Structure 1
């Protein structure tokens, strides 16, 4: 091939590359923003919390778009009305009624007005949820399976049949380094380890997958040892004491089918043998624009719950797992207590404690007293990154009211 021919081919390839245009799939480019309704109407007198939000595009930088300013009410099939669900002042898009008491077996519907749009659910039956018989756990000291949590329930009347669960895990954890000192901007002070402990915290996480079960094909309405979650032995969740609060809901058959479809669409995809995505059934509709889809399903029931604790001495893990990998200490902190040349607001001190940077937490380790560069007294502190020392960055150092 001649040099001229090669040159022409290269120019042609460059021209083709320059003509390429970015392709944006319709699912990403589509600008639809649909109402999402999450939550259950608690008919047993406890708090009802509904979350309203809008769908966002796949390539949108905003991952959550709460629906604020809505008017949310509940109506009975017999014409009865109930106090409005009021929007939370702290959590945008959350609507709360602290004590709804509804009659079992009766039917109710939800009405939502937001801006110029109005949404209305079908009438849904109020169901009674049986108590949880027990929440149990199985411990394993193998690498991949540390703690398995199961739930057991039954309904002697045989009326429940369809169930849903969610849970909140609360656990203790500790940072690898314990800070006993802090800076107020110009002075290093001892930390009060009782009121200002940042080494020991509690954190709560919530279930993020669909958990449903049915006794439809059984001779009795019994759910036995249904798995709720598995916590790996390397997880920080079981490095100290662990607690889980399980909530149980009785569903109608139609509501169960909604959650079953959602589970298949979101959790059971990945191979040619898995179910194909399908449109979710819903009982909530936009009456001002019938063509507008709504995501969610209204269920009404009493809610039963049970909390268990798994004590430290039974847990299969006593470390932080991978949470604090990469944490280390450094001794690059110096506070000039007496500085006749520059005073306490020394530039070195300012840099170490007030300027933006990763190393701002003090550890009472390798303290040094001496003279450096003519300064009479110098105290050295060892420090680490806030993430490795300050547990309040991911949780709370206030003990939960329910904690043992």
Structure 2
């Protein structure tokens, strides 16, 4: 199983959508998008928070629809300044720019971002201040039936600002779930020759239980600006009852960002564009810009936002049986039915011989021995697609 989607690629494709819309907004007939409509633009993702940590900034380029990889802008000079003449330098590390020292944004100061790329282009943001700090109070999971008539567990984020100064919220989550390989056995088949295998009873038990972690890629925003009070009870995550992620034990860490109206509007627009079914839809994005400009070339397109936000987080755990005690657990990611393969090498037999298939499957890691038969490797070894390292925060 391959979890390929990343938020940078998702964002860059949204931004390319925006650029393409300018080329096609006057067309009334169908149009087949081609690579030659592509226009490159720099993409800047920067959210500084009131957490004391090494802050991170991502600088990439827009991607073509057919691109599989995101182009990272390398060799840039990145610096954040505040109005007290403090400067925070960022260095390139693992495809991101990370502050050389840990720092937190504080109330009452103004922060701005400056970037100079290796080809001499200079980008600057507007000055931004830290919004109200309004912590998330809890995450409440409950069984619901959604508007698609699907039963599942919905996780709501809750917070309350009695002073009504927060109003604009953005969420990210990181979910971690326990995986138990259903066909693990202490026996294992070892290839000892071109036509020979040996069955040992020393299979590694660490291959039975794993933990996978996935981060949200959607843009999740809400506002209380039109409500009678600044109280949030917002559905951040819905997961269907038959999703294998909740079959054993599940945890979700939700981060709540309080941001200003301009940042909220930017992210909300991004979300609306990404959810559009077609670049030819009547709903076109129009002028779409953030708070970062290229001061060395006013015609240079810049996509992204320099966001200064207060952040808080909460983590919860639950088991499948906490909500569905009398229901069968969700199915594993594969059916894992044992394959009755015949370990012989003669030709034209009935049933056919599968000796070479078994040998190559064991050697290539695609098959595992299971009580006289064979199964797909992921059914007896969860480390094929996950990690057996117990997360430091995990609680049973």
Q: TM-score, normalised by structure 2?
A: 0.77
1:324 aligned to 2:330?
Answer: no
1:93 aligned to 2:96?
Answer: yes
**Matched residue, 1:68:** 74
**Matched residue, 1:36:** 43
2:61 pairs, out of 39, 44, 54, with: 54
Q: TM-score, normalised by structure 1?
A: 0.76
**Matched residue, 2:110:** 107
Structure 2 segments unaligned to the other structure (5+ residues): 1-29, 193-197, 345-354
1:358 aligned to 2:362?
Answer: no
**Structure 1 residues 208 and 274: CA distance shift in structure 2, 3 A:** farther
How is 1:267-282 mapped onto 2 (pairs within 5 angstroms)?
A: 267=275, 269=277, 275-282=283-290
C-alpha distance in structure 2 between counterparts of 1:393 and 1:33, whole Å: 37
Q: How many residues align?
A: 346
Report the CA distance between 1:141 and its aligned residue.
8.2
C-alpha distance in structure 2 between counterparts of 1:320 and 1:97, whole Å: 45
**Matched residue, 1:127:** 131
C-alpha distance in structure 2 between counterparts of 1:236 and 1:155, whole Å: 36
**Matched residue, 1:5:** none
RMSD over equivalenced CA pairs, Å: 3.1
**Matched residue, 2:150:** 144
**Matched residue, 1:160:** 166
Report the CA distance between 1:273 and its aligned residue.
9.7
Cα displacement string for residues 216-269 of structure 1 (whole angstroms, at most 9, x for unaligned residues): 12232221x211111011111111111110101111111011011111111255
1:211 pairs, out of 211, 220, 224, with: 220
C-alpha distance in structure 1 between counterparts of 2:185 and 2:76, whole Å: 46
Q: Contact 1:362–1:384 (CA<8 Å) still a contact in 2? A: yes
Q: Contact 1:239–1:318 (CA<8 Å) still a contact in 2? A: no
**Structure 1 residues 199 and 78: CA distance shift in structure 2, 3 A:** same
C-alpha distance in structure 1 between counterparts of 2:48 and 2:76, whole Å: 17
C-alpha distance in structure 2 between counterparts of 1:113 and 1:208, whole Å: 28
Q: Contact 2:169–2:222 (CA<8 Å) still a contact in 1? A: yes
Q: Contact 1:135–1:308 (CA<8 Å) still a contact in 2? A: yes
Structure 1 segments unaligned to the other structure (5+ residues): 1-22, 336-345, 367-381
**Structure 1 residues 221 and 351: CA distance shift in structure 2, 3 A:** closer
Deviation >6 Å, runs of 4+: 270-274, 346-349
Report the CA distance between 1:401 and its aligned residue.
0.7
* Structure number, greater radius of gyration: 1
Q: Identify which of structures 1 and 2 has the higher relative contact order when contacts are C-alpha pairs closer than 8 Å and 6+ apart.
A: 2
